[in-house]
Structure 1
């Protein structure tokens, strides 16, 4: 077997060192490859020396968006990066959800407030929704999400603060989130595993750093059909994907497509890590 060089990219925050890229690198090395875990914005790395560059836990890209997108394009010239640049650019702004909805995929309704919008309060009230979630269109981990009544002064003030910095998405609150958000993990279009992320009592945010918990989940045919329909609309083939769904009006509804740097929850399934590494190897040709 020919030894190939593979880079798995992460971030540099010492507060949380993601174990998944290192675990994948260990298996790749055991299979005879040269695998490195690198910080994506390390200026000393020769990315062209790698046969494949895999975006993993680059969880600071939201704050360095233009730098990150320029890095993606640059790396893809000298090497090959996954997911592809066209997929990353499409997925980086939550406006892609409107495209899914227009194509018939079940998504929550949404209002996009462009950066610098004025009269935010009346725009939110005009939706007719009673309770909404407001969040930046480019963000992750519910870092700047806020839940409240459309008449809430605090909610409107939060929306005004973040719309001064970038586009903002407003969506009606989906009570189904209280039973959990289901994440389907697909590699090369095939279902690998799934997890139900349940928020802490009294919260709606499912992330572990907000007190959420993870439970095993058996995927339904309807959930898988929705996930595949959504991924089919990506501008190019998707190598790895996490599709986040919530039950809304009795229908599996897309909350997010995570196609850039998702937590893949490899820890919840004994074979998930091996399947992910298989997926990486398949990209080497």
Structure 2
């Protein structure tokens, strides 16, 4: 086993390529996709390049919503569009503008109606209402390995921010979801275009049920601190992929 940079990796040297911390793909989308295409021709890649390609653009949220799954409402645009359109669509007091290809809570803007005056949503962005429960209930991340639930963690924002990431001041806490929560999260896993070796379902608890924030299937942080048997599960899943 070796850790290698995808930029200089020769995929033919390996029996299996497991994508882990390729966080710079958001700035080098075309090169990353080209690498996955090359790699997939000579070795198994996890997650499957078809899943990664599908998951790269947040427009996958539209597909999941179209299947009737509970996703935070999202507005995507094909041309510069006044941010006021998002307020009209959602009836929300605040909206968040996010990159269509992005991660880690970076590149986002939080807008009130007054702040949205003159702001345009660009084609590389999309808008969502600020779900107020993110400030109190936080976000629950459920980890699945080989399609089976493994463990979960609750993430809460800090310092008045809405972002729950530690790098933005958020905090992490152990979480034990109930069967109904696991079942709800598993519905998103089942909706992937092809099965994932490992993925993470991020949901916000609301009075109307769990709403999907993100289904992370590229290089999901799996919160190993909270999953005692994560290593064993991952090893078994990799073994099955190679069998």
Q: TM-score range by the shorter chain?
A: over 0.9
CA distance in 2, matches of 1:152, 1:254: 26
- How much is the aligned-residue C-alpha RMSD, in angstroms? 1.6
Residues 246-283 of structure 1 deviation map (CA, whole Å, 9 limit, x = unaligned): 01233011110000011110122332223222222221
CA distance in 1, matches of 2:42, 2:154: 38
Verify the 8 A CA contact 2:50 2:194 in the aligned structure 1: yes
Unaligned ranges ≥5, structure 1: 1-34
Residue in 2 that maps onto 1:246? 204
Verify the 8 A CA contact 2:84 2:113 in the aligned structure 1: no
Structure 1 residues 125 and 196: alpha-carbon distance in aligned structure 2, compared to 1, 3 A threshold: closer
- The number of residue pairs the alignment matches comes to 241
Shift of 1:192: 0.9
SS of the equivalent of 2:158 reads coil
Candidates 36, 52, 55, aligned match of 2:2? 36
Verify the 8 A CA contact 2:51 2:194 in the aligned structure 1: yes
Asked which structure has the greater CA Rg, the reply is: 1
CA distance in 2, matches of 1:137, 1:151: 24
Are positions 1:90 and 2:54 aligned together? yes
CA distance in 2, matches of 1:265, 1:170: 27
4+ runs deviating over 4 angstroms: none
Structure 1 residues 272 and 133: alpha-carbon distance in aligned structure 2, compared to 1, 3 A threshold: same
Are positions 1:51 and 2:15 aligned together? yes
CA distance in 1, matches of 2:212, 2:219: 18
Give the TM-score taking structure 1 as reference length: 0.80
Residue in 2 that maps onto 1:31? none
Residue in 1 that maps onto 2:192? 234
Unaligned ranges ≥5, structure 2: none
Residue in 1 that maps onto 2:37? 73
Candidates 111, 124, 127, aligned match of 1:170? 127
Residue in 2 that maps onto 1:186? 144
Residue in 1 that maps onto 2:86? 124
SS of the equivalent of 2:215 reads strand
SS of the equivalent of 1:191 reads strand
SS of the equivalent of 1:144 reads coil
Are positions 1:102 and 2:66 aligned together? yes
